[in-house]
Amino acid sequence: MATDIKDTVHAVEAAAVMGLLPARPRLLALGEPTHREDTLLDLRNELFRQLVEQEGYRTIAIESDCLAGLAVDDYVTSGTGTLGEVVERGISHGWGASAANRELVRWMRAYNVRAANDGRPTSERLRFAGFDGPLEITHAASPRQALTALHGYLAARVDADLLPCTADTLDRLLGADDRWTDPAAMMDPSQSTGQSAEAGQLRLLADDLVALLDAQTPHLITADPPDAWDRARLYGRTATGLLRYHHWMADTSPARMTQLAGVRDQMMAHNLLAIAERGPALVHAHNSHLQRAKSSMRMGGRPLEWWGAGALVSARLGEEYAFVATALGTILHQGVDTPPPDTVEGLLYALPEDRCVIDAPRLATALGDTPPAPRVSPWFGYAPLDPAHLAASDGIVFVKDVPRDR
């Protein structure tokens, strides 16, 4: 068995990852089993640099607020703002403080400056995208930004008689933003405004605005640069997704948390499919969002299961979607010690390499009909690999030890 496992091991480089795949996928997703570890993000940065330079990927999408990320994209493509400002404002979940995320954005801007100086066409520039909704663990954003931006875009370009409402009507129905963002609503559905009469009217209006955007596509795609129409579609997806999320925030049924998890990943999937339309993209997020297998977790003592973004996108794109999970051995500063030898991580930890790329389907075959034992994490912030999911991954990036961040 040990010999077979060693035969699945490759260096951590773009060529090794691409060698696991039948062809270059439109979306190449790299997962991580825990957040906020710059060691893993530094590895992501290096691998993504190689994939950009050697394989022609031109968009990098991360698990961050899709609307806030527009500021980062503006900086990367045209230098709007300053690096510190856009990283702090444009990368959500507090991850703008990460030195590795800052370095990724700095490198993307420098790449585009070099491309412009070399006279390469605009199509060669790098793009940045957040593909998460404007959501946090404790609350969800007001739909105001997305709804008013979509309404403003349409009001400037189509006959006013076609609009389902005025901007004033939207403003009145939205009310104060803190009605939508109250963190108490996450634990107490009665504190949510998501099933109020106003929220119901806003869902209908959002649907009508998105339908109008779709109906006017032939005119709109010629009236402005493509980016303007793409952003309007993003506003539409985000508005309808947020209103649906707030609806379930106010729900009192046993399905509430499952629905919330599912709506979030649906929003992610819709954003990824839109990103894929404009060309090959690299994606980074938690393994649970990107895997093909059903996602699961326990919350409030209850097991939750839902189809994550990777599963939804893979169902649509087939081999045009690829998923490489990241696994790790230890995070000693979080109490994650040497993995038991009968787990996937334990078998990989016994290899001499500090980091390597593993052919996951071949590893699953080498392990035979008796899969390794599941690893149990002593820390809630780290999710071990599920050995039952090995064959559904295209590869694994294994990192033996994750030291405390610099």
Q: What letter does residue 66 receive in the DSSP assignment?
A: T
164 and 252, same domain (yes or no): yes
131 and 277, same domain (yes or no): yes
284 and 223, same domain (yes or no): no
2 and 105, same domain (yes or no): yes
Is there a domain that residue 264 lies in? no
Angle at alpha carbon of residue 143, lines to 139 and 147, rounded to 5°: 165
- Domain stops at, among 206, 221, 256: 256
pLDDT of residue 31: 98
115 and 26, same domain (yes or no): yes
Which tokens is 367 given? Answer: 């392990």
Domain membership of residue 204 as a residue range: 140-256
CATH number at 101 reads 3.40.50.11550
H/E element, 9: strand 9-10
- Domain stops at, among 213, 231, 256: 256
List alpha helices for 83-216, DSSP H: 83-90, 99-117, 144-155, 167-174, 178-181, 197-215
Is there a domain that residue 350 lies in? yes
Q: Is 230 left (phi over 0), alpha (psi -120 to 50) or beta?
A: alpha
Q: What letter does residue 79 receive in the DSSP assignment?
A: -
Per-residue pLDDT of the chain (406 residues; tens, 9 = 90+): 443 688 889 999 999 999 999 999 999 999 999 999 999 999 999 999 999 999 999 999 999 999 999 999 999 999 999 999 999 999 999 999 999 999 999 999 999 999 999 999 998 999 999 999 999 888 899 999 999 999 999 999 999 999 999 999 999 999 999 999 999 999 999 999 999 999 999 999 999 999 999 999 999 999 888 899 999 999 999 999 999 999 999 999 999 999 999 999 999 999 999 999 999 999 999 999 999 999 998 877 788 999 999 999 999 999 999 999 999 999 999 999 999 999 999 999 999 999 999 999 999 999 888 889 999 999 999 999 999 999 999 999 999 999 987 5
Is there a domain that residue 58 lies in? yes
356 and 306, same domain (yes or no): yes
DSSP letters of 304-369? EEE--HHHHHHHHHGGGEEEEEEEEEEBGGGTB-SPPTTBHHHHHHTSS-SEEEE-HHHHHHHHTT
Core vs surface per residue 21-60: b (16+ CB within 10 A) or e:
eeeebbbbbbbbbbbebbbbbbbbbebbbbbbeebebebb
CA-nearest of 34, 10, 28, 29 to 336 is: 34
Per the structure, the count of domains in the chain is 2
Is there a domain that residue 22 lies in? yes
Is there a domain that residue 392 lies in? yes
130 and 278, same domain (yes or no): yes
How buried is residue 181: exposed, middle or buried, by Cβ count under 10 Å (0-12/13-18/19+)?
Answer: middle
- Domain stops at, among 210, 227, 256: 256
332 and 378, same domain (yes or no): yes
146 and 79, same domain (yes or no): no
352 and 391, same domain (yes or no): yes
H/E element, 276: helix 256-277
pLDDT of residue 18: 98
Q: What is the pTM of this model?
A: 0.96
Is there a domain that residue 266 lies in? no
Listed in sequence order, the residues at least 6 apart from 103 whose beta carbon sits closer than 8 Å to its beta carbon are 42, 45
How many other CB atoms are found less than 10 A from the CB of residue 144? Answer: 18
